[in-house]
Structure 1
């Protein structure tokens, strides 16, 4: 990798959604030559104006980069950009590091790592937590699975995007850590929505309630951040409902494989499934409040 000569590694970034835009921008601001691809080309416009190079496909990004980062939607999208003919694995430079930051399947992360090793490259799974705010402020928590040496190589780039970066273990360990994160969020979101619904029904001012309980044992980012959005009925997405349903489904599949029963997670997914069925899949996860209050756009 070119960083060994004192030259910053060239970074490729595939997937410029709500979070990817900011994450890629931080690597560019840190002085890395940035190569990008997004299915909707217009989403690359701001980065290109700042100096990023736009490519026509993921393979072309990989061929131009020392570190290739993917931040796409679903495991099927991850599989496509890595394994399709002419994709990342086919075109990656020898010695490069591939980093999938999508929340995806641990088993798929293991497959990618194995296939990368066979091609003379290394792959890390590095999902993130912190949502659009964490991505914008470069304060993401980044949980990484895979080869330790590759983690050390990639760490300077990861530090441009995150404030808490941890190597969790072998390939797939990052994704398993993210599943634990999403399981904690799922039941907490139920609690936040129910707390605010109860406060309103009791005739209390929910903002004042959060002023009080948000400094006590119940304090959390979800209560104090997304809880305020629930009160304002602001359901603009920081993280899409349909992506959260995807994450919970992966977690439930992994739990079943391990023989675990997670009733809180099952309940949360059923309520978020209702939001998707009602047409609210493109809203933020705080839209769970709709389920309790029958708020309709």
Structure 2
């Protein structure tokens, strides 16, 4: 099966902060796009641009050559793939399914194995880069699964992202995303502390960022979310509730591997405090509220 626009029908399930932009790039590249999301009005914009609405996951699954999903939580992934109405019970042989949700590595393996039994090819392909990466089609895409499937759908990945790496067999994409989230977790605490220190010591934090953002302290979080913290802009590029979900998966997975993660544990405890205070729908940069 060729993955050329005009010849491939792509299904997209989940039109949240990330999915909305990612699906838009696929449509703009000339693919016939069928969409489903739980809250139908989130699809209004993309339908107005030419996407085809499907009333159920099963209806979408039976019509598409490739199905991409990016939903909220592992439980949502199970619902979308494994239940009676789910993708694996309705997609035809030879369909490729790509879960881009950040989810549990073991669940990615389970979906891969059940898909294989039905003649369906499966990849786990979580992403990093936040709302800006999704909008600019510059996401990092971390992939687990078979190389032949990866090679086949690479044209679609290239429409959504820039840094696209096959990390290994099924589940490897999710394990890579966990390594990514562990690095971000303690880093977010450090960014908050750094900017809070700059403010407390009487400096202009924006000017401080000019010095430290391009030095050894520089990071994506410092340079992209630091300015949002300073501006008190806590709108979600990535929801706190979803970051807590990711960190919980990472903590459970680390535990299973016999790895201690004190930085992750600290970040998780602080973000849980944010959720308890009612900020779970803020962006991850809202952690800064704890430091002011």
The alignment's TM-score, normalised by the length of structure 1, stands at 0.97
The secondary structure found in structure 2 opposite 1:68 is: strand
Question: Which deviates more, 66-75 or 51-60?
Answer: 51-60
Structure 1 residue 8 displacement after superposition: 2.9
State the 1:232 CA deviation.
1.0
RMSD of aligned residue pairs (Cα, Å): 1.1
Counterparts of 1:46 and 1:20, CA distance in 2: 12
In the TM superposition, what is the alpha-carbon distance from 1:6 to its structure 2 partner? 8.4
Work out whether residues 240 and 281 of structure 2, in 8 Å CA contact, stay in contact via their aligned partners in 1: yes
Residue 180 (structure 1) aligns with: 179
* Partner secondary structure for residue 69 of structure 1: strand
Query: What is the Cα deviation at residue 4 of structure 1?
Result: 7.0
Partner of 2:228 in structure 1? 229
CA contact (8 A) 1:124 1:171 kept: yes
Moved over 6 A (4+): none
- In structure 1, stretches of 5+ residues that fail to align are none
1:198 maps to 197
Shift of 1:266: 0.2
Q: Which position in structure 1 is the counterpart of 2:108? A: 109
What are the residue-to-residue correspondences of 1:124-273 with 2, within 5 Å? 124-273=123-272
The 1-side partners of 2:137 and 2:192 are apart by 28
Distance 1:42 1:15 in 2: 12
Query: Residues 124 and 147 of structure 1 are in contact (CA less than 8 Å); yes or no, is this contact kept in structure 2?
Result: yes
Counterpart secondary structure, 1:133: helix
Question: Counterpart in 1 of 2:14?
Answer: 15
Residues 169/245 of structure 1: CA separation in 2 closer, same or farther (3 Å cut): same
- Match of residue 47 from structure 1: 46
Question: Is 1:8–1:31's contact at 8 Å kept on the other side of the alignment?
Answer: no
Q: 1:27 to 1:57 in 2, by over 3 A?
A: same
In the comparison of the two structures, how many residue pairs are matched? Answer: 292
- Quick check: 1:93–1:121 contact (8 Å CA) kept in 2? yes
**Matched residues in 2 for 1:22 and 1:165: separation?**
17
- Find the residue that maps to 2:140 and give its secondary structure: strand
Q: Which residue number in structure 1 is paired with residue 23 of structure 2?
A: 24
- Higher mean Cα deviation, 200-209 or 174-183? 200-209
Deviation at 1:200, TM superposition (A): 0.8
After superposition, give the CA deviation of every residue in 1:193-226 in whole Å (9 maximum; x if it has no partner): 0000111111111111111111211112211110
Q: Aligned partners of 2:182 and 2:257: how far apart in 1?
A: 15
- Which residue number corresponds to residue 36 of structure 1? 35
Q: Aligned partners of 2:70 and 2:154: how far apart in 1?
A: 17
Q: Distance in 2 between matches of 1:101 and 1:173?
A: 13
SS in 2 for 1:19: helix
Q: What is aligned with 1:62?
A: 61
Aligned-partner SS, 2:214: coil
Alpha carbons 2:3, 2:155 under 8 Å: kept: no
